[in-house]
Every structure is written in C-alpha cells, then in structure tokens.
C-alpha cells in the first residue's frame, strides 16, 4: 500500500513533447516494463497548452477537480466530471479557455490496457525524447524528423518516443469503444452499500474484459469503508484517516491485489475509486514465453 498527499508533492514541468505548458505532480507509479504499469498525476495546464487529436496504446482515466478542459468533438470536462479514454481511440484536440480561476486541475491515471501493450514510465519517455532531439524537433505534439535523415517525416510525438524506446513500430490496439467516454456523475444516483453503513456509491462504469472500474464513494461523518483489490482511491473532498494515517483532499491511496485498508471519515468524505484492470494473465503469458525462448 502507498499513501501520498497530493498537496505536498512539488509540481514539475511535464509532457514536453506536447504543445504549451503543463505542470504535473506525480503521485503514484507502478513497475516499469510490466503490462500493468501505471502512473497517477495531478495536471495543471497553462493557458497555452494544446494537444492535437491523437491516440495511445495505453488507457487513461481522468477526473476533473477544478476548471474546464475542452476535448473538441469528444466534449468538455467540467469540475466533478470523469472520463475513460480507451487504448487505440483518438481523442481531442485538447485545449482550455484562458484565464480560468481556479486554473484547471485534473487527476490523470495512465495505465496498460487489455491489449497488453503496457505503459512507458516517465523516465523512459524523458530519455526517449532526449535521444530523439538530435534527429528532429518536437512541436504541437508532433515529432518532425530532420529532412536530411531517412524515416517518416512527421509522427505523433509519443509514438515516435515509444518506437525509439521499444525498437519496433507501434501497432495500435483495435478500439474496443468508438470514442472517449465522458461522464457527469451529477446525473448518477447514489446507491447505499448493503455492507457499509453510511457509505454510498455511484458506479460510473466497468470497462473491457479486464474490468477497469470507475466509481465515486461518499462516506457520511463517522462512516468507515473497507477497501480491497488493486486500485487507487483519490480523496476529492473531506477528511479522515486510512490505515492509521490522516487523509485530506488530494490524498491518493494505492492498494495492490492482496492489500486492504479501512477509510474512516471524520467529517465526511468523497472518494474517487479507479479499479485497475486485471492483467495478471498477460504477465504470466509473457513470463512463459520468455522461459520458452530461453
């Protein structure tokens, strides 16, 4: 189990291969090189941030804490909204209105999806970008290769980095959904949990055969909730304690497969739960393949 307080993490410049300014607070990260690697960050865009319409070979969950983000034809995310961005599905372009107060703040979980394509760590992305810079330039989310060099002239920035790191062409997974899915939890009803007095749930969705899950949990003052299973809980409001440690807004808690923890809401709490997909069988297949090759 890992507990991180988001308001105590220093922000740093991130995703330089996209356009404009974005500062990130990295809260949680998984194990690089595994199919179920992940990262959770809090992103705050500058007014100049822009990302063209693009797709990934990994998945994303977003939860809008403050401000508004515009994803073009896919819609806008306002405070309290959540989004599921499937692997292989194009979304965007992403931008925002200038001068928002407070500035947009978004929790972003990126993770390997059902295809088993995995997820590059931020260190891998940074090193891949640095290695490519002598051969071209990054601008507005595109890598433009120098004209005197062989290879594709223009490529999606992340795809170019991924292919350099992995030493092979990227094959995008066949989309399981036709578009990104944006949800307004305000339109969902609270459902009391039978085994959790004072705890209510808004189940926003379960996705793919690997069961990625998104939901909100509301704890009344003095209520307790027993969490278990591989996933992340982000405190969106309220205060209390978990595993004997105090939590507050922007506290994030990661539980692995065999772990459990009790949340106790001192003054009520709102938790956003992101259940990570079950990719254990993919890891087992990869290990078996490696052993056979050896």
Total domains, the chain: 1
Q: Which of 103, 98, 40, 96 is nearest to 66 (CA)?
A: 103
Residue 85 lies in a domain: no
Residue 251: give the domain boundaries: 187-275
Residue 283 lies in a domain: no
pTM over cut 0.85 = yes
CB of 205 within 8 A of CB of 183?
Answer: yes
Structure tokens at 133: 């810079």
Beta strands in 162-211 (DSSP E): 181-183, 191-192, 199-207
Residue 229 lies in a domain: yes
Residue 176 lies in a domain: no
* CA–CA distance, 65 with 107 (Å, rounded to integer): 7
Q: Which are the contacts of 141, defined by CB distance < 8 A and separation ≥ 6? A: 17, 18, 19, 50, 51, 52, 54, 156, 157
Residue 240 lies in a domain: yes
Residue 208 lies in a domain: yes
Phi, psi (5° rounding) for residue 34? -105, 155
Question: In tens digits, what is the pLDDT along the chain, a chain of 294 residues?
Answer: 999 999 999 999 876 655 567 899 999 999 999 999 999 999 998 787 788 899 999 999 999 999 999 999 999 999 999 999 999 999 999 888 888 888 899 999 999 999 999 999 999 998 999 999 999 998 878 899 998 877 778 888 889 998 999 999 999 999 999 999 999 999 999 999 998 899 999 999 999 999 999 999 999 999 999 999 999 999 999 999 999 999 999 999 999 999 999 999 999 999 999 999 999 877 654 443 433 333
Residue 257 lies in a domain: yes
Structure tokens at 132: 């490519």
Residue 3 lies in a domain: no
**CATH, residue 229:** 2.60.120.10
């Amino acid at each position: 189990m890992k507990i991180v307080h988001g308001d105590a993490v220093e922000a740093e410049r991130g995703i330089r291969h996209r356009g404009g300014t974005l500062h990130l607070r990295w809260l949680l990260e998984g194990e690089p090189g595994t199919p179920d690697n992940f990262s959770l960050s809090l992103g705050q865009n500058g007014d100049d941030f822009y990302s063209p319409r693009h797709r990934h070979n990994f998945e994303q969950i977003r939860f809008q804490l403050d401000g508004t983000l515009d994803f073009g034809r896919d819609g806008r995310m306002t405070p309290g909204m959540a989004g599921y961005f499937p692997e292989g599905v194009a979304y965007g372009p992403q931008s925002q209105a200038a001068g928002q107060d407070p500035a947009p703040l978004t929790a972003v979980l990126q993770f390997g999806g059902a295809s088993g394509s995995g997820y590059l760590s931020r260190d891998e992305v940074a090193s891949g970008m640095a290695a490519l810079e002598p051969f071209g330039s990054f601008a507005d989310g595109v890598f433009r290769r120098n004209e005197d060099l062989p290879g594709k002239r223009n490529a999606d920035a992340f795809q170019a980095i991924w292919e350099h790191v992995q030493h092979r062409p990227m094959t995008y997974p066949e989309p399981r959904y036709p578009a990104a899915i944006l949800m307004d939890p305000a339109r969902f009803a609270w459902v009391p949990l039978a085994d959790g007095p004072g705890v209510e749930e808004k189940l926003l969705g379960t996705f793919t055969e690997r069961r990625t899950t998104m939901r909100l949990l509301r704890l009344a003052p003095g209520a307790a909730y027993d969490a278990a299973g591989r996933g992340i809980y982000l405190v969106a409001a309220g205060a209390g304690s978990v595993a004997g440690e105090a939590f507050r807004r922007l506290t994030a808690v990661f539980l692995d497969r065999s772990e459990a923890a009790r949340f106790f809401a001192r003054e009520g709490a709102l938790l956003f739960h992101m259940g990570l997909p079950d990719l254990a069988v993919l890891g087992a297949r990869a290990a078996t393949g490696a052993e056979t090759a050896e």
